[in-house]
Structure 1
Amino acid sequence: MADDDWWLLLGFVGQAVFMGRFVIQWLASERHRRSVIPVSFWYLSILGALVLLVYAVHRRDPVFVAGQGLGVAIYLRNLQLVRRARGADGLRAE
């Protein structure tokens, strides 16, 4: 497999992981009969965005790099907010 083929495969894998987060969110929402964003959505968002960011850097695409870089920061912040809320809920329960 040529070097360019590996990069193309990496780009498709990143995109598949990134798209998978929507399937997870949809299934969780259907199960709860309301819109739900499970924590796994944010982990898949981060993983997919990081893989796509590596691919975008390789392609030297500044628009793609900026979009994925900002996305990673937002997804990390959302995980921080989820953890903080879970910590606050744990303190209230005691």
Structure 2
Amino acid sequence: MAPDVLASFSRWLHSVFIDQLDIWVVVGLLAQFLFTMRFVVQWIASERARRSVVPAAFWTFSILGGSMLLVYAIYREDPVFILGQAAGLFIYLRNIWFIRREKREANGAPVVS
């Protein structure tokens, strides 16, 4: 690589990852980590079952990471990111509702739809 290209790239990396580092970037990174963990738990559960499995922890991490990413997106005022995360939260919460209802039915408790 030419020295000027390497220097430019180095300045860009510093600008993106160092100059912009603040509490909101830390919140965003933590949120992204939580959101990524949902895929990790899904992968581990599927490997153990030797079939595709979506455990409740997937939806829990989805809600935690998605909520934090929504807060981050609102702070950044990014309409695409805001709409995407808000829509996703509805789906994650609905899946948790289905899981809880199924557990109540299995325990013989009355179910409210």
TM-score between the two structures when normalised by the length of structure 2 = 0.75
Aligned length: 91
RMSD: 1.8
Q: Which structure has the larger Rg over C-alpha atoms? A: 2
Equivalent position of 1:18 in the other structure:
35
Equivalent position of 2:85 in the other structure:
68
1:43 paired residue among 60, 82, 89: 60
Runs (4 or more) in structure 1 with deviation over 4 Å come to: none
Looking at secondary structure, tell me which structure has more helix per residue: 1
Cα distance, 1:65 vs structure 2: 0.5
RCO higher in structure (CA 8 A, sep ≥6)? 1
Unmatched 5+ residue regions in structure 1? none
Unmatched 5+ residue regions in structure 2? 1-18, 109-113
TM-score between the two structures when normalised by the length of structure 1 = 0.89
What secondary structure, in the 3-state scheme, does the structure 1 residue paired with 2:67 have? helix
Identity of aligned residues (%): 50
